[in-house]
Amino acid sequence: MNYVVFDNGDAPYLKWLKENPEGYVLNTRRSRDSQFAMIHRATCPHITRPDIIAADGFTGHNDIKVCASTVDELVTFVRGYKAIAVGIVDPCGTCNATTEPIPFNQAAKNTRKPWTREEVLILLNLYEKIPFGLFHHGNPMLIDIATRMGRTPGSVAMKLSNLASLDDRLMARGIRGLSGASALDRKTWQEFQGHQDLLVPESEALLAELITGNADCQVDVQPERIAVPSHPEGLTESTASVKVRRGQRFFRQAVLNAYAGRCAVTGLPIRELLVASHIIPWSEAAEHRLDPQNGIALNALHDRAFDLGLITFDTDLRLICSKALKDHFTHATVAQHFKAYEGKPLAIPAEAAGPKPAYLEWHRREVFGKF
Ligand SMILES: [Zn+2]
C-alpha cells in the first residue's frame, strides 16, 4: 500500500497536495489512542489553507496528515496505526471524501446499529452499579462491555449519561445527565424502575449472558471491573429462587459500589466482610426490595446489629445505639465497636444518593429498640 505520513513540517505536505489534487488526506491525531480520524479530498479547504492556521499547524502539535491516492490505502494505514480497539473514519462533511463512515475494525462495524431493549436493560443494570463519575469511555469496565456489545466505549458511556437525564435522584441533587434519551430509553427506564421485581432479574441474566455466554453464571460488577467468580451457582434451583438470587446479587453490587466498597460505619474496605444491609427487610416490603436506596453497606457485625434494631440512624444519618446495647457499653469490645461510633454520621460518597429518609424512618419506628 502506498501512503505517505506527514509529521512535524507542513512544507512537504503542502507540496504533496499540490502535486496530487486527485488524492485523499487522512487527518488524525498523532496519539495511537485517539479515536479521531477524518478523510478529506486533497483539495478540501479544511486541510489546504496554510494562511488560516499557525505555521506547521497541519502536521505539528497533536495532528498528523497521511496522504494517498485512494481512501482504501488510508483505511489500511489507520487499521495498522491505531492502538484503540474500535474506531471510525469519518468523511469530511465539506468535501465528502467518502459517502459513509468507515469502521476500522470488526467491533466498530456495528456502531451505528440501533439500540435494543436488551442492551438498554443491561445498561440500566450497570447504571445502578456504577457511580455517575465513572460513565466515561476510559473506564475499563465500560470498554469491556462495549467490546462485547460491538459498540464503541464512547457510545456506551454516552448512553449511560443519557439515562442519567431520566433520574429523579440525580435531579434532586442538581446533577443533570446528557439530554438526548430516546423513546426506547424512556420506556425501558420506566419499565425497569416500575417493575424491579421482574426487570432486575432479567437484566442480571442478560448481563451474565453477555459476559459469560451463560445467563445462569454469576458476574460481579465493580465500578471499574467485572469479575466472574470461579464457583458458579447451582443450576437445579426453581425458576423462582433463581430470580430471587439474581435480585439479591444486583442489590448487593449496587449498594456496595454506591458506598465505594466500604462499611459506612467503620470504613472497613473488605468486600467479603460487607453486607448490603436492607433498611426495610427483604421480607417486609416487596416493592422496595431491590431499590439500592433501601440499602447501606455495613460490615457483618453492624449489619446484624442494624437488622436486630440494636442500632439505627437519625435524620442526620448519625448512629444511635439502643438501650439494650448501651447496657453493655462497659464491656471493652462493645465500647470499641459501638460506643466509639455513636453520634457519628454514615460515610456516604459524594456521588451516592444515600439511604431514602422514609426507609430509615420506618426502621427507627418498626425495628429500633425492639430487641
Ligand atoms: Zn474536507
CA of 23 to the centre of ligand 1 (A): 12
The 10s digit of each residue's pLDDT in 58-81 is: 998 788 999 999 998 888 788 777
More confident residue, 35 or 135: 135
Find out whether 99 and 92 touch, Cβ atoms under 8 Å. Answer: no
The 10s digit of each residue's pLDDT in 218-258 is: 899 998 888 887 655 555 567 778 888 899 999 999 999 99
CA of 157 to the centre of ligand 1 (A): 28
Q: What is the largest CA-CA distance in the chain?
A: 92
How far is Cα 7 from Cα 67, in angstroms, rounded to an integer?
Answer: 11
Q: Which residues of 325-343 are buried (b: 16+ CB within 10 A; e: fewer)?
A: beeeeeeeebeebbbebee
CA of 178 to the centre of ligand 1 (A): 29
Find out whether 64 and 17 touch, Cβ atoms under 8 Å. Answer: no
CA of 40 to the centre of ligand 1 (A): 4
How far is Cα 68 from Cα 74, in angstroms, rounded to an integer?
Answer: 6
Q: What is the dihedral of CA 296, 230, 203, 260, to 10 degrees?
A: 30
CA of 138 to the centre of ligand 1 (A): 29
Q: Give this prediction's pTM.
A: 0.66
The 10s digit of each residue's pLDDT in 250-298 is: 999 999 999 999 999 999 999 999 999 999 998 888 888 999 999 999 9
Residue range 99-124: mean pLDDT, rounded = 76
CA of 150 to the centre of ligand 1 (A): 28
Is the pLDDT assigned to residue 132 strictly greater than 80? yes
- Which H or E run includes 179? none
Q: Which residues surround ligand 1, an ion (CB under 5 A)?
A: 40, 44, 46, 92, 94-95
Other C-beta atoms closer than 10 Å to the C-beta of 56 total 15
CA of 91 to the centre of ligand 1 (A): 7
CA of 293 to the centre of ligand 1 (A): 51
- Looking from the CA of 85 toward its CB, the CA atoms found within 13 Å total 18
